[in-house]
Structure 1
Amino acid sequence: MPYQEDLVGAFEGLRRTVFEKREYYWGPGADWWPEEERLPWPKTMDELWEHELVQHDGTHSILDIFRIIGPDEEPDYGTLKQVTEEEALRVLGTRRPTRAHVPRFEEFDYWRWYGRCAVLHDDEGAPQEIYFWGYSGD
């Protein structure tokens, strides 16, 4: 996502974009699903989460994340935690990660059903984008 100071706004914008572009797993609408049982794509996120398969398997996307937690909170199912400057310094050797650091993001702590995000900077240290990653779904 393009950088914005409002992390919640960026997070909600990404969720909205993923939902609207249908960039998530929707098994009941997939080509491999029996044709006579296929369902149309949900019109709302509430409708999406009403389906038992989604409740069990998730969407394999940012839609499986529901809230942002603070730096001192423990991760839990459906939460997102931002990489702090101190954590970036410890793991990457810099307080201001760039796109070049993304391949090393697997070195940050993360678990299934829990997301992370980090502000990426340009070579002069100015924030450019917010990078989200995680692992959900089965």
Structure 2
Amino acid sequence: MGASGWNYYVAYQPDLGRALAELRTRVFDEGDYWWADAAELGKPASAFPDRPRTEDELWASESVQESGTHSILDMFSVVQPGEKPAFGTVEPVSEQEAWDRAGVTRLTRAHVDAIDDLADERWFGRCAVLHDETGAPSEIYFWGASGD
């Protein structure tokens, strides 16, 4: 099947880890992910009444362990300053990356195309705080690619 790209916008909050956890909960609850056990039908998990009811149940599936969910559910934590990104982590865009790509340190939705290619490896996500027209943080953009 290959990897799938994904992206999400969520309301801003200063705790990126909490924002990721809340997004993961929403995506799981909505069934907006690929459930490997139902792959042959090409439908999201929400199309199956017998889909897993907990993330533990989802990740107990060998096919999900091998192929992932092709969604933010494949990301488990946000990289902290000074940490090296690892499999299943989301790395925030640095001010330097924002400057190098978009010529600003306060990104907006208008800059998303300029930073999208920063998520260049499967199983590693990125996130960026996006600002409104006054320069205040307004949302967080999560994106990446995962799945096999």
Residue type of the alignment partner of 2:143: W
Structure 2: runs of 5+ lacking an equivalent: 1-9, 43-47
User: Could you tell me which residue of structure 2 aligns to residue 72 of structure 1?
Assistant: 82
Q: What is the CA distance between 1:106 and its match in structure 2?
A: 2.5
Q: Which residue of 1 aligns with 2:124?
A: 114
1:4 aligns with 2:13: yes
Distance 2:119 2:53 in 1: 34
Tell me the distance in 2 between the aligned counterparts of 1:84 and 1:31.
40
Q: Which amino acid aligns with 2:85?
A: P
Q: Deviation of residue 70 (structure 1)?
A: 2.1
Residue in structure 1 matched with residue 45 of structure 2 by the alignment = none
The answer on whether the counterparts of 1:110 and 1:116 sit within 8 Å (CA) in structure 2 is: no
The change in CA–CA distance for 1:109 and 1:137 in structure 2 (over 3 A counts) is closer
Stretches (4+) displaced over 6 A: none
* C-alpha distance after superposition, 1:8-50 (max 9, x if no partner): 11111000000000000013235628xxxx8821010010000
Aligned to 2:23: 14
Q: CA RMSD in A?
A: 1.9
d(CA) in 2 for partners of 1:19 and 1:126? Answer: 30
Hey, what's the Cα distance between the residues in 2 that align with 1:86 and 1:105?
Answer: 12
Q: Which has the larger radius of gyration?
A: 1
Percent identity over the alignment is 50
Report the CA distance between 1:107 and its aligned residue. Answer: 3.4
Structure 1: 5+ residue runs without aligned partners? none
Structure with the larger RCO, 1 or 2 (CA within 8 Å, 6+ apart)? 2
Contact 2:79 2:89 in 1 (8 A): yes
Aligned residues between the structures? 134
Which residue number in structure 1 is paired with residue 72 of structure 2?
62
Q: Distance in 1 between matches of 2:78 and 2:27?
A: 17
Cα contact 1:97–1:119 (8 A) shared by 2? yes
